[in-house]
Chain A
């Protein structure tokens, strides 16, 4: 296998027909002219060429993924959704050097990510995770550009194979990953994988072969989805070419069982905070549409009791509806309160799978060491009676709490951006892990890691128009948190002290008044505790009135 494998995938509309105008393939290059559609670039770099050897030496899995804030579409087969922001996930082995990894994150990915060592990561059941709401990609792009000249250097200086830099800036998501895990497809294992995704564009560009054609393979595919059996395979057809090798496109037709997919029948959701809210905002997610359980069959090996042979049998999978929340440090949930919801089957919560990270119930935002917390909930699905209705609805109501914010000058509120949760069905599935080696699957390390490897994911769509260059839409919920304006400090400090001192003086004065009145620290004829006997006698003589 070539040391560098570069693949351009274009998912073109079904009515797209290639013409000599739109595609010009020669032995030297491929030229595209206004090819419409979704695009994904994938570069697989084999281990010896990877520059970050010191980081990769003792790691099982690493994935750094930046999702744009725009509400972009997830076009099949790129259905896997992530929340916007920068996601850094690590499954370390013994001796993993957190400091040099954090140096790498800050210098190569984004200097604004607060990565100072293992302490910056929250512990998840499968590894360590750092999230940042910063989505800047320029550092990462210039890093890739300067570190992997084999990818970006070309004989034609006008073009850079890994999309030119301005193209990368418009990408909807960029990820870098490296995995030694057994679950990873063989062709990705032990290699650095970079993936860049644009949900839509008209692509005019020249794609050149690799400089060293033996070690650098550049492949281009133009594909369309031919069929999508919701409980089975997805079929794609189209044309493929290895630039520099093929002078003609080769037709292709293949099917596979994808791990991530959209829902066949539409269901949408939209979250917001219920108004009015204060320091205890209620996070409401409304879900509408077809909320029938996806009909998914899972393939299992079943032993035939008569023959003793194993057969592959389709059985209906069991599915659950899940909500995955990212809670940056300014907001948190009370895990006990959420468990109570699940116990009462209230708020749309069926089961708390887990809450990880900073869950302290009291500390203000500046005492939170890590970036925040995540929560995975299994949600209550509509009852059978509700499923009779043409459209179903569900409401998830999660009580949240905002942390005390840092006081600032001339402001009485701090506004934060919170990512929308992801809502999806997870269907437990096949014993076989063929989905993991699907042609478009990558060693992803997000919510899917909470489920068994054979699980399939079916995503609900955010209820918002897709972002376009003219009309940006973002999956952002704004949260306003009241703060004390910092300029009040110059009044608060002296007046607090003055009042306390006044209080002390007043009490002392009153004590002295009493002292003077009684002529001492004692009262005449009154001790602490008159012996009960003596007192009883006294009482007989004259009822004492206090």
Chain B
């Protein structure tokens, strides 16, 4: 049977239905729950909102109230959020195919590469467990699609919305602006030539949509909205072990037994934003916007102070754009090695994490520390190849 767009989307949908029902089974029967802990945070927040409270009545709700509103039906139908997130996956996949078309990728190859997202079991698992990252993936792909379609105002509105939703898409703004070369100039020549119609429209639209949404949420929910949705991420002291190379340094350095606090964790945003927000956009965005956004996201997550496996979704959604011309696809050995090392490094970390989390073995040092650095190295190596490819 030949793969077509509708068949691929149907297959992706069926896969999610199967994962969803598997989750229902696991939740009812197994010790470890399938449904993500965050899903309970979202649905509780919706419940509080429905009862006339605010989403922030739920501890650890760190998202825009819009998410809680979107999930209001979960007060009646608990599964609704999972449906929405899985739908987000599929919309992202569909838009991905549209972008492939615009980029002139051959139909069969487009289907094949979209499958990397649509038929990826990890992606399907994360959405059906009830994590909102798939929804964000759809928004980011929609942004990219609008840019490729030259729907500049729509792109700006989506960009503002995505930054309001999860801050990190702000790294896409310089890339998109930088890439918008092909548009009538507005203010003469020389350096002023840079200010062209697309850039002005995109800038104004994204600023308006971000300000409107954020202003409206602040108007409705006040201080708690700012504190929980944004400021928390600046001051977060979440030391629970994660994939970030900064993890153990953060844990030790923030503890009261250390006389000399390490200055480095508070400087961590410098290499991260320099690479993801300045170097990569400036050097690559004019070559290929979609691929640039992929490596930007990959770099942002790799250099982040906190990194859990959900963050991988942020760049996996953009991976299909990078793959078609990738050196790692042409050179099979390199490709397999990259996937293998990425998986093994995670496996090592998970094994050390399991020893700590469930077996009471203090694997912080050297185990988890070494595992985070190895994982960092593997990521940097892959990122280097990808950057050079563009």
Contact = CB atoms under 8 A, between A and B. Distances in A.
Contacts of B325: 546
Given A361-B60, A486-B258, A488-B365, A280 B376 contact: no
B357 to A, nearest CB: 4
Contacts of A360: 59
A545 B106 contact: yes
A22 to B, nearest CB: 54
Interface string A505-546: 011111101110110011100111111100100110001111
Contacts of B196: none
B179 interface: yes
Contacts of B274: 504
A374 B222 CA distance: 31
Given A406-B255, A528-B289, A511 B360 contact: no
A484 B252 contact: yes
Contact of B237 (A367, A485, A503, A538): A367
A500 B239 contact: no
B373 A495 contact: yes
B258 A489 contact: yes
B111 interface: no
Interface in A372-428: 404, 406-408, 412-413
B285 to A, nearest CB: 8
B357 A483 contact: no
A282 to B, nearest CB: 10
A439 interface: no
B357 A278 contact: yes
A492 B289 contact: no
Interface stretch (B63-71, B185-193, B381-389): B381-389
A511 B283 contact: yes
A499 B377 contact: yes
A521 B181 CA distance: 12
Given A482-B361, A500-B271, A489 B286 contact: no
Interface string B280-308: 10111111110000000001001100000
B257 A528 contact: no
Interface in B170-212: 179-182
A488 B380 contact: no
A503 B303 contact: yes
Contact of B275 (A335, A362, A507, A514): A507
Chain B, interface SS category: helix
A521 B287 CA distance: 7
Contacts of A279: 356-357
A488 B302 contact: no
Given A280-B358, A364-B255, A488-B364, A522 B287 contact: yes
Contact of B358 (A278, A404, A406, A413): A278
Interface string B255-290: 111100010100010010011000110111111110
Interface in B96-120: 102-106, 109
B102 A404 contact: no
Interface stretch (B76-84, B243-251, B342-350): B243-251
Contacts of B149: 529, 532
Nearest to B144: A529
Contact of B102 (A412, A491, A535, A545): A535
Q: Which of B109, B239, B288 has the most CB of A within 10 A?
A: B239
Q: Which of B148, B245, B279, B287 has the most CB of A within 10 A?
A: B287
Contacts of A1: none
B341 interface: no
Contacts of B385: 510
B102 A406 contact: no
Contacts of B387: 507, 510-511, 514
Contact of B286 (A280, A522, A539): A522
A488 B252 contact: yes
Given A523-B287, A527-B182, A538 B249 contact: no
Contacts of B52: none
20 contacts: A278-B355, A278-B358, A278-B361, A359-B59, A362-B60, A404-B251, A413-B360, A484-B252, A486-B258, A489-B258, A491-B366, A492-B369, A496-B248, A510-B383, A510-B388, A523-B287, A527-B182, A529-B179, A532-B102, A532-B149
Interface of B: 40, 44, 59-60, 102-106, 109, 147-150, 179-182, 237-240, 245-246, 248-249, 251-258, 262, 264, 268, 271, 274-275, 279-280, 282-289, 299, 302-303, 324-325, 355-366, 369, 373, 376-377, 380-381, 383-385, 387-390
The 7 closest A-B pairs by CB, nearest first: A412-B362, A482-B362, A484-B364, A488-B365, A528-B179, A546-B324, A510-B384
